[in-house]
Structure formats: C-alpha cells, structure tokens
C-alpha cells in the first residue's frame, strides 16, 4: 500500500474534512482537545472559507471547519513551513471566525466559543517540551480566567513527538503518529487497526482510492511543498552570503514568486503578463497568503478576484 501524506493540504482536507470524515474528526478532536474524553458527540463539517464582510477585506482559507454539538466552532490548520507572522495569522483566523458569527441586529450573547487547532511540522515554541499546547485568556498576575474565555488556541508540534510505533499508548499518541508518519508507511500498523476511526482514515488515505484528478492535485501539492522548502533554504543562503536581512528576504521572495507562478501555470494554465506582474508586486506576507489560498482556485477568475482583494 501507499498512503497520501496527511501533512499535505489536499490530503489533510480529504481525510479530516470530507463528507465521510465525521466520525474520524470526532475521534481526532476528542483525543487532541479533550484528553480522549467523549465530549464531542456529534459535529457538522462546514465550508472552511471565511469570506470578507466588506469589499476589499482579507479572505481566509482554513483546512477544516466544524460546528460541535455544544455550539463550539473548531477551525483546523495543518502548516508544514513556518512562514512570516504565522502566529498572527492563527490569531487572526480565530478572531475572524468569532466575529463573523454575528450579523447586524444579532446580540453578543449569541456568540459561540471558537477553538483554533493548529498542527505544525516545525517548532512553534522553542524551549518548551510539550507536544500539545493550549492558550486561553488569563489575568496577567492572578492567572484567573477572563469572564468569557471564548477563544482558545491549541497547537500540536509534530517535531516534538518522538514516540515510535511500539511506544504508542494513548489514542492521542496514535492520532499524532498517524499525521506525522502515514506518508512514509506501506501498511497499516496492527496497533492502529484497533481504532475503527483510524482504520477508516487509513482507508481514505490509501492512494488506490484517489481519482486521477485527485492524484494529480496531490502530486502538484507535494512537489510545491518540496520546492517551498528549497526556496526558504535558498533565501537563507543568499542572505548569509550577502550578510544582511534584506538579502535573505529578497532571495526568498524571488524564489517564492517563481514557485507560485509555476504552480499556477500548471493548475490554471498559462498566466497572462498582467497577472504575473501583479504577483511580482506582492510582499512576503501576501505571497505566504497566496500559497495558503493556492489550491482553492479553480479558475483564473478566482485568482484575479483574490489579487484584487489582497494586493491593494
């Protein structure tokens, strides 16, 4: 067997955010968020796109969004590379999900809690050993909770998870191991088969179940992820050689533009000079946002709309 890599955007959404993923997502979230207690009984998987309320405002593209049976919203992001201002992006998406619940005339008491679960393939918090971190609003000195602790940020840092297959003890261990290693496995480990939801996740992750179109999208994203790592390395190396921060940023920006343009040409067809020029004018932050949105574009019109909203 060969399995798709859950750390790739398309694969993560297919495994955890598709119409057949409800029981998988319930098991996964109970394990990660609630220490394996069966707090979540049911949930609804929602459209993960967070559109702007006003023209020209910033779009947000999440990997998975769900509404739990108690009314809590959970938004999930899988991030392979640490990009500039990533921590701010996590907080922005959580705050936006919270704020967008209300429309004109609705009351603040109708707001429901939001949990932002972020899984990273890099270390977010250097010097800390915990694989899973939970952040909520606290009073600075007394460390008491705020009156409405409605926004919680949860991080799972995959590099800090060191357990091998024979040391997996809990459901939480097994789910983190699944995300971290499935792309490298050629069979379903026997210790994982005992969990029906994980077994189902492996079935969805089996490459045999993909259509040709899905396989092509997955392959493009895998190539792009590999090239992205290379672009970051190139930017750092050029920065070291030139001995200044601007060199590192400029090198990374040029490599990022080249990779994005190549991927969009493959995905949407040959870009016209005007679109290429607009992409070249984007800042590093805007290029990072474009990478996040890249695979949600199904036409050149989608790309043009994004550029109009985000490059002003």
How confident is residue 35, by pLDDT bands cut at 50, 70 and 90? very high
Closest by Cα among 17, 52, 85 to 306: 52
Phi, psi of 101, deg, nearest 5: -65, -30
Task: Give 298 or 183, the one with higher predicted confidence.
Answer: 183
pLDDT of residue 227: 63
Residue predicted with more confidence, 255 or 129: 129
More confident site: 67 or 245: 67
Residue carrying the six token digits 């996740």: 201
Cα(186)–Cα(4) distance, rounded to whole angstroms?
A: 10
Q: Which pLDDT band holds residue 139 (cuts at 50, 70, 90)?
A: very high
Q: Which residues contact 126 (CB under 8 A, 6 or more apart)?
A: none
Tokens found for residue 221:
């994203």
Q: Is the pLDDT of residue 312 over 60?
A: no
Comparing CA positions, the residue from 291, 258, 257 lying closest to residue 77 is 291
Rounded CA separation 62/78 (Å): 9
Q: Are 151 and 113 in contact (CB under 8 A)?
A: yes
pLDDT in tens, 76-132: 999 988 877 889 999 999 999 999 998 878 899 999 999 999 999 999 999 899 999
Inter-helix orientation angle 9-17/196-205, to 10°: 140
Predicted confidence at residue 243, as pLDDT, reads 47
3-state DSSP assignment of residue 300: helix
- Measuring CA to CA, which residue among 192, 152, 161 is closest to residue 29? 152
3-class DSSP assignment, residue 64? strand
In the chain, where are the structural domains located?
Answer: 9-209, 212-310
pTM of the model: 0.79
């Amino acid at each position: 067997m060969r399995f798709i890599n859950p750390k790739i955007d398309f694969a993560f959404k297919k495994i955890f955010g598709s119409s057949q993923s409800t029981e998988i997502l319930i098991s996964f979230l109970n394990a990660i968020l609630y220490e394996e207690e069966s707090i979540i009984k049911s949930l609804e998987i929602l459209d993960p796109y967070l559109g702007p309320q006003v023209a020209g405002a910033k779009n947000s593209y999440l990997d998975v969004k769900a509404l739990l049976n108690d009314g809590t919203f959970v938004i999930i992001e899988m991030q392979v590379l640490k990009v500039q201002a990533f921590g701010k992006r996590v907080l922005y998406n959580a705050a936006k999900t919270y704020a967008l619940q209300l429309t004109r005339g609705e009351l603040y008491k109708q707001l429901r809690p939001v949990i932002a679960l972020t899984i990273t393939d890099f270390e977010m918090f250097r010097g800390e050993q915990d694989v899973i971190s939970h952040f909520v609003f606290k009073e600075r000195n007394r460390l008491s909770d705020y009156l409405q602790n409605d926004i919680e940020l949860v991080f799972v840092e995959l590099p800090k998870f060191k357990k091998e297959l024979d040391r997996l003890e809990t459901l939480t261990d097994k789910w983190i191991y699944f995300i971290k290693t499935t792309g490298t496995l050629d069979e379903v480990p026997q210790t994982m088969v005992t969990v029906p939801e994980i077994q189902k996740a492996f079935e969805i992750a089996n490459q045999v179940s993909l259509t040709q179109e899905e396989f092509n999208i997955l392959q493009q994203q895998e190539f792009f992820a590999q090239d992205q790592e290379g672009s970051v390395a190139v930017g750092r190396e050029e920065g070291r050689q030139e001995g200044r921060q601007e060199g590192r940023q400029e090198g990374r920006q040029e490599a990022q533009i080249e990779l994005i343009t190549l991927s969009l040409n493959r995905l949407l067809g040959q870009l016209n000079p005007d679109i290429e020029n607009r992409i070249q004018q984007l800042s590093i932050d805007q290029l990072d946002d474009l990478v996040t949105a890249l695979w949600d574009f199904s036409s050149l019109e989608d790309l043009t709309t994004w550029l109009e909203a985000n490059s002003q």
